[in-house]
Structure 1
């Protein structure tokens, strides 16, 4: 049986700390949430590699560095409510649940499986909503923090409207094969985006720019 606890430590020491992620809460969460329990069955051996893990078409589990740096920039507080958009099999939700007061995860393909895995891990301050990620979960908002778990070309206003004034949203904006992670800050109803670091991930369904074709 592989020593996954040792692999978590190596992941943090080789991928997270060298990327200037220093917040103890993030380090602690990523040391304690078993990533191998939230990857597709049979893929446990690659759980701690420094790369995105495919889940389905256009969907990945973000690589540890990208995920941790987004969390670091979002600076999630213990009294905040977070929306996890496109939670996949639940890893990001489990980590966020250790940082926030409560987490609402919205997921379409893997909602039931994510809920089961989070329940197996004893995560009791997170709820998985079966729905379209790009539409968020308005009924439970507004949110202090929104994290989009994949690439985007645009973020629909239906989603950003669910962010509180003073709240933050993190997303990975893709242009072709190149991407820039940005944090959006909402003030007086307007979101200002700030670039944080370079990364790459497939564009999630519902987050592509609508192309206009002319004859």
Structure 2
């Protein structure tokens, strides 16, 4: 299979035709070989327009969802980005071609190791993979200009909002009552604004599940 042709078709038929116009997003996704981030048995479908299971209940988001999330984040080349739920590292590789620095957070040790190996293979030395609970973020390197959450969550935890820099943006798919909407949270001083960018669904990130309250 000619993965280069498949990648070009993804850009032209999935991305550009669906109101993705940010040149940083388009150029980064055109440069990153998505096939190396999926199990070898599934490389032939690496560029299809759907979420791809990569093991452990985790997915690579469909290309269009990734593109639209990154576009609404309004990423600049000087930004420091926290990429939450990086899985095997695809989103982090794309972000590393858009931003100054990427901190890729993954709670699954095996996936974190794969992400590190994949980023090293591509020579992307402005991205580092760290391990820990996804819902806690990574306060050690905060504040971040942008936080991207790779998967649907029930709500944005307060801890993540407070890791944003002044003027920072957090983008995520928030699932409420069975439907998903892409949410953008912005920080201005100690005030947090919130808006819905568009409707969209993606697989739930288990690490963000709410802990049931104890009942006597």
Alignment of 1:143-158 (within 5 A): 143-158=144-159
Q: Deviations over 1:9-51 (max 9, x none)?
A: 1111111111111111111111110000111232111110111
- Give per-residue Cα distances to partners, 1:118-160, cap 9 Å, x unaligned: 1011111000001111111111111000000001001222222
Q: Which residue of 1 aligns with 2:173?
A: 172
1:103 is the counterpart of 2:96: no
Give the 5 Å matches for 1:9-158: 9-109=8-108, 110-158=111-159
TM-score, length basis structure 1: 0.94
2 CA distance for matches of 1:57 and 1:202?
A: 13
| Contact in 2 for aligned 1:152/1:173 (Cα 8 Å) | yes
CA drift of 1:214 comes to: 5.9
Alpha-carbon separation, structure 1, partners of 2:14 and 2:76: 23
Match in the other structure for 1:205 = 206
Structure 1 unaligned segments of length 5 or more: list them: none
| 50-59 vs 4-13, which moves further | 50-59
TM-score by length of 2: 0.93
Q: Deviations over 1:83-117 (max 9, x none)?
A: 00000100000000011000000012111110011
CA distance in 2, matches of 1:33, 1:62: 15
Matched residue SS, 2:36: helix
User: Mean Cα displacement is larger for which, 29-38 or 41-50?
Assistant: 41-50
Q: Secondary structure of the equivalent of 1:42?
A: helix
Q: CA offset at residue 212 of structure 1?
A: 4.5
Aligned-residue CA RMSD (Å): 1.5
Q: Secondary structure at the match of 1:43?
A: helix
Q: Secondary structure at the match of 1:29?
A: helix
Residues 38 and 88 in structure 2, CA contact (< 8 A), matched pair in contact too = yes
Q: Distance in 1 between matches of 2:87 and 2:40?
A: 13
Deviation at 1:213, TM superposition (A): 7.1
**Structure 1 CA distance for aligned equivalents of residues 107 and 39 of structure 2:** 16
CA, structure 1 residues 190+211, in 2 after alignment: closer, same or farther (shift >3 Å)? farther
State whether residues 58 and 203 of structure 1, in contact with CA within 8 Å, keep that contact through their aligned partners in structure 2.
Answer: no
Q: Is the 8 A contact 2:134 2:208 kept in 1?
A: no
> Structure 1 residue 55: deviation in Å?
2.8
What are structure 2's unaligned runs of at least 5 residues?
none
Deviates more, 1:150-159 or 1:199-208: 199-208
